Amino acid sequence: MHRTGVPPSRFTFSSVLNACARLPAILEGKQVHKRLIQSGLLPNNKIVETTLLDMYAKCGFLDDARSIFDAMVHKDLVSWTAMVAGYANCGDMRAARELYDEMGEKNSVTWVAMIAGYGKCGDVKEAIDMYMEMRAREVKISDVAIVGALSACTQLGDAELATTLAADVGRLCRGRGVFVWNALIHMHAKCGSLDLARKEFNAMKERDVITYSTMITALADHGQSQEALSMFQQMQNEGLRPNEVTFISILNACSHGGLVKEGCESFELMTSVFGIRPLAEHVTCMVDLLGRAGQLERAYNLVMENVELANDPGIWGAFHAACRLHGDVEMGEMAARKLGEMDPEDPGNQVVLASGYASNSDWQAAEKVRKMISGKGTKRSPGCSWISG
């Protein structure tokens, strides 16, 4: 259009900027911004300014977005929401909240942006509080809003809240999409109610790969490894192709249940039949499975076969745990040394290394590592649990 000399309108520019935002394509977006200035459509064109602001926000260039926002003479609900959502998506909830509090009118998109932002940052209590305020004000609750609340409750592990949200889903989401069902199943399972998760699964008319992966994980977490394998088979019978996440779920199920044969068969199926390249999570599951069964050499060989993943601390952490479980001091020391070399600044790895030396009665080396830990003044981070009955 540009080459043929047809002058773009504000709607043309807005369409192209929306495309840049969706990709995202910041370099092309900046070129469009430059042409906007040359065309004389900036400043003081609310539609174009808002779309440009949204493009910068969705591409993560919040300083540019804020400059446009601050310069706008006529800010409407859409521009305010775009700026709030931009901050929330990038995890700057302080800035998002400041703007949110300054807003007069708000719509469901604004609320959803805040709920999703808090959930993404792990501030699940704020996410739930925001949802409850939205509910109290009788703002129309969309599927996206309810999924944000379900996800926050999943992290919180609050069974009583899960009951409230499940009732909301039944009341507000009559024609709920698959992604709502999936979030509901995941929430019930993580809040300790496998029966409710199973009930929702059985009530679904259409299921996707995420549905099955979520249910397989739920069964594995509740010690139902054989049922997880049956679910995996049912998924394939329905013609759904498992993905990387599905195989993480099924390998976890095998690890939890000590199903070595089934786990090895699933790993082979993943690589040979479905052509999925192993991720660190897959190899960690297999190392844990083989290691628990005492097949340390086989676990070690698997790590070496996937050499591109051989510097993953999760894999070596699982291997080290297996070595300690079965009293293999030599291989345990090697695993501990690997962990220490991978991230010398991680106090946890250094503690593992010191323990490895101590297990092999190399007291001098163990003491050297402990002194190094003390000299750096490092300490382990405290654990935190959000479990509510």
pLDDT tens-digit readout, 93-152: 999 999 999 998 898 999 999 999 999 999 999 999 999 999 999 988 999 999 999 999
Q: What is the pLDDT of residue 362?
A: 67
User: What pLDDT digit, counting tens, does each position of 217-270 carry?
Assistant: 999 999 999 999 999 999 999 999 999 999 999 999 999 999 999 999 999 999
Task: Report DSSP letters for 111-174, one per residue.
Answer: HHHHHHHHHHTT-HHHHHHHHHHHHHTTPPPPHHHHHHHHHHHHHHTBHHHHHHHHHHHHHH-T
Residue 1 clears pLDDT 50, i.e. is over it? yes
The whole-chain average pLDDT of the chain stands at 89
Provide the pLDDT for residue 239.
94
Q: What percent of the chain has pLDDT over 90?
A: 71
Number of H helices, E strands in the chain: 22, 0
* pTM of the full structure: 0.81
Could you report the per-residue pLDDT of 286-326, keeping only the tens digit for each? 999 999 999 999 999 999 999 899 889 999 999 999 998 99
pLDDT level of residue 42 (50, 70, 90 thresholds): confident
- The residue with greater pLDDT, 16 or 329, is 16
pLDDT tens across 179-199, in order?
A: 999 999 999 999 999 999 999
Cβ atoms of residues 157 and 178 within 8 Å: no
Cα–Cα distance measured from residue 157 to residue 366, given in angstroms and rounded to the nearest whole number? 40
User: Coil, strand or helix: which one is 327?
Assistant: coil
Q: How far apart are CA 129 and CA 331, in angstroms?
A: 49
User: What domains can you pick out in the chain, each with its CATH number?
Assistant: 284-378 (1.25.40.10)
